[in-house]
Amino acid sequence: MAERLEDIAHKLVAEGKGILAADESTGTIQKRFETIGLKSTGESRRDYRDMLFSTKQAMRDYISGVILYDETIRQQAADGVALTERIAASGALPGIKVDAGAKPLAAFAGETITQGLDGLRERLQEYYRLGARFAKWRAVIAIDSAALPSCGAVRQNAQALARYAALCQEAGIVPVVEPEVLMDGKPGNHTIGRCYDVTVQTLREVFAALAEARVKLEGMILKPNMVIDGKGARKASVAEVAEKTLRCLRETVPAAVPGIAFLSGGQGDAEASEHLSVMNAAGPQPWKLTFSFGRALQAAAIAAWGGRRENIAAGQRAFAHRAHMNHLAALGQWTEKAEKQT
Ligand code: 13P
């Protein structure tokens, strides 16, 4: 019998576990590989991802699910094992990014709309057959100190997220709903107060649209940004980021949502872990709070690996360390001391 959406959602936010976002599009992974001077090919992308998914103890103990890209969900490792099977063997759930990227929104200069709804019903059915039990769709919300975002752009992105989420649930797939208010966008000089206001506005629109689309809140996961000042104007303390993020979420996210899994959005590795940990240490919340990090779980592993076979163990050690730090953060137990022990 198919697993219930609620059970899948709870599995994704199981105690001390979080999601590895490994769904970089071909263009994005190429940029990551350029930092280590590695050519991005089907084979190098496969080998890199297999290195992560084969990090046995970290995958088993700290990772609940892995978000894949369309290419990866169809790939087999060098030893012939499907990458989805490698993930499933560790006990984690395979997931899939189903959006087709953020494109300029007509008549809204500087803002985007995420595409990919056409044919989504059929694609979800295929992804289910390929083993995906959850999906991701990322809406990008531009932010500046005064004019952006527009109400129109926020609403249109919320509606697309809601239509995606309803289609996922129809297919037996848990939607991870990701409205990202950018930290590292341009101009990037907004205050934390401005991020708070825009994130509240965005999440209100998103939950209104989800209700209108009859999305079951018990069978979804929210993937938001933390409330934080722009990358070029970072001043807020850890305590302030944690306090404002929690306040924003408590005002906007219904308690029926089982879990909130944050994106890292360009924060430093340790910084993202510390923020998550301080929020979890603040006491029980209506929902589980965990991670769904891309860069903050992978950057150190890519650097340690460097695209060389002889560095696979070093790459896995770096990934295992970040996964461990975020496991501690999901429990509210991250410490600077643990961070320094590699
Ligand atoms: P980052 O943690 O690097 O922001 O990536 C998470 C993600 O999946 C963005 O869509």
**Residue 246, H or E segment:** helix 238-252
- Set 17, 97, 136, 223: catalytic member: 223
Identify the pLDDT of residue 102.
98
Ligand 1, atom 10: closest residue by C-alpha: 138
- The set of residues, in sequence order, having a beta carbon less than 8 Å from that of 238 and lying 6+ positions away, is 271, 274, 275, 278
Determine the Cα angle at 277 with ends 274 and 281, to 5°.
140
Q: What number is the average pLDDT over the span 305-323?
A: 98
For β-strands 112-114 and 102-104, DSSP reports them as antiparallel
* pLDDT at residue 21 greater than cutoff 90: yes
* pLDDT at residue 1 greater than cutoff 80: no
Identify the pLDDT of residue 307.
97
Q: Of all atoms in ligand 1, which is nearest to the CA of residue 264?
A: 2
Q: Of all atoms in ligand 1, which is nearest to the CA of residue 21?
A: 8
pLDDT tens-place string over residues 188-201: 999 999 999 999 99
pLDDT tens-place string over residues 88-125: 999 999 999 999 999 999 999 999 999 999 999 999 99
If one counts every other C-beta atom within 10 angstroms of the C-beta of residue 255, the result is 10
The CATH T-level fold of domain 5-340 is TIM Barrel (3.20.20)
What percent of the chain shows pLDDT beyond 70?
Answer: 99
Residue 165 near ligand 1, beta carbon < 6 Å: no
State yes or no: is 223 an active-site residue: yes
pLDDT tens-place string over residues 321-340: 999 999 999 999 999 999 99
State yes or no: is 178 an active-site residue: yes
Q: What is the mean pLDDT of the chain?
A: 97
Ligand 1 centroid – CA 56 distance (Å): 22
Of the candidates 174, 247, 249, the residue with the CA atom closest to the CA atom of residue 207: 249
Distance CA(147)–CA(313), nearest Å, equals: 48
- The set of residues, in sequence order, having a beta carbon less than 8 Å from that of 165 and lying 6+ positions away, is 137, 175, 177, 210, 213, 215, 220
Identify the pLDDT of residue 180.
98
| CA distance between the termini of the chain | 43
With cut-offs at 50, 70 and 90, classify the pLDDT of residue 184: confident
Q: Alpha-carbon dihedral of residues 14, 73, 324, 192, nearest 10 degrees? A: -80
Identify the pLDDT of residue 121.
98
Distance CA(27)–CA(91), nearest Å, equals: 29
Q: Which of 10-19, 61-70, 136-145, 333-342 has the lowest mean pLDDT?
A: 333-342
Identify the pLDDT of residue 215.
99
pLDDT tens-place string over residues 238-295: 999 999 999 999 999 999 999 999 999 999 999 999 999 999 999 899 999 999 999 9
- Set 178, 180, 205, 274: catalytic member: 178
Identify the pLDDT of residue 340.
96
Residue 69 near ligand 1, beta carbon < 6 Å: no
Domain ranges of the chain: 5-340
Distance CA(302)–CA(316), nearest Å, equals: 9
Distance CA(342)–CA(339), nearest Å, equals: 7
Distance CA(308)–CA(45), nearest Å, equals: 13
With cut-offs at 50, 70 and 90, classify the pLDDT of residue 2: low
Q: What number is the average pLDDT over the span 158-162?
A: 99
Ligand 1 centroid – CA 297 distance (Å): 10
Identify the pLDDT of residue 32.
98
What pTM did the predictor assign? 0.98
